[in-house]
Structure 1
Amino acid sequence: MKVTALDIQQKEFARSFRGLAAEEVRTFLDQVGAQLEELARENIELREELKRREERIDALTSREKLLQETLVTAQRLSDEVKAQARKEAENIVAEAELRGEILLQQANERLAEVLGDITEMKRQRALFATQLRQAADAQLQLLEAIDAEPASLDKVTRLPRAAGAAD
């Protein structure tokens, strides 16, 4: 049976001839009852405080668990982002290398075209120089012929005159 402060304060004892002093027992029981009542109130307050703290601990534990899960998720996402970034970087590098190879191939093809054009121009220059020399030689021969022609014209014109003088 549980004894409360009220039980102690209301407790009555049977009277006996040689019993204890009732007033002292009553005073003592009142003091014990008051103390018991105070301890009961303090016990209730402490239980309520304990309950609040346990609820707070539960809330904090729940938050901690959520935070840990969030950190694990964040770490996993970070790892995934890093892996994806590496893969993207590798793809960009591979694409850049491919573009570089294509540009190099195009540059080599253009170089071959330019070298071919240069060779063709040299050939055409040599041909033009030859043709120019031939034309210059022909002009020189023509000039030489023209220079030589007045003497032969004089011969030609003298002959008929001489024939005409004989007429």
Structure 2
Amino acid sequence: MPLTPLDIHNKEFGRRLRGYDEDEVNEFLDQVIKDYEALIRENKEMQNQALSLQEKLNHFATIEETLSKTIIVAQEAADDLKSNAKKEAQLILKEAEKNADRIINESLSKSRKVALEVEELKKQASIYRARFRTLVEAQLDLLSHDGWDSLEGGGRLSSEIARES
């Protein structure tokens, strides 16, 4: 068991002839007590400081561990986010390609439909022209026949009758 300042203070030395000077011994013991008390206080302070530093070290070690785990989690989250973004981009691209194909197919279908309508209109126009030509030729034929001459004379007669009345 270590000495305490009280043990030093209460220490009694036996007396002998030609012994030490009691006052000097007591002064020395007082000095030893003061120094010993100072060392004990300093030792306690250092222990408290060491304990405080150990607590800080443990605290920082915990923070370091937490930060390390956080960085790992953040990295995993970033990787997941990146992976999901790539998948979503691929889905968007596929959807866009499908829409583009649909639009192209619809456009081709409409184009074919319009081409068929144009062809139909050309046929109808050709038929109309042929019928119109036939009609015009028939009318020209009528005009070129002699029957008009008799109608023209009858037309004069009706205009003369109209004048006399």
TM normalised by structure 1 equals 0.85
Q: CA 1:107–1:62 in 2, change beyond 3 Å: closer, same or farther?
A: same
Tell me the equivalent position of 2:122.
122
**In 2, Cα distance between equivalents of 1:153 and 1:51:** 140
Deviation, 1:115, is: 0.6
The letter of the residue matching 1:132 is F
Deviation, 1:23, is: 1.0
Tell me the equivalent position of 1:71.
71
Once the two structures are superposed, the pairs formed by residues 12-161 of structure 1 within 5 Å of their partners are 12-145=12-145, 148-151=146-149
Gaps of 5+ in 2: 153-165
Q: CA 1:14–1:124 in 2, change beyond 3 Å: closer, same or farther?
A: same
Q: CA 1:56–1:32 in 2, change beyond 3 Å: closer, same or farther?
A: same
Gaps of 5+ in 1: 155-167
**In 2, Cα distance between equivalents of 1:98 and 1:150:** 72
The letter of the residue matching 1:28 is F
Deviation, 1:60, is: 1.6
**SS of equivalent to 1:106:** helix
Deviation, 1:4, is: 1.3
**SS of equivalent to 1:18:** coil
Residues 25-48 of structure 1: CA distance to partner in whole angstroms, max 9, x if unpaired?
111111111111011011111111
TM normalised by structure 2 equals 0.86
Deviation, 1:150, is: 4.5
Q: CA 1:151–1:48 in 2, change beyond 3 Å: closer, same or farther?
A: closer
**SS of equivalent to 2:82:** helix
Percent of paired sites with the same residue: 34
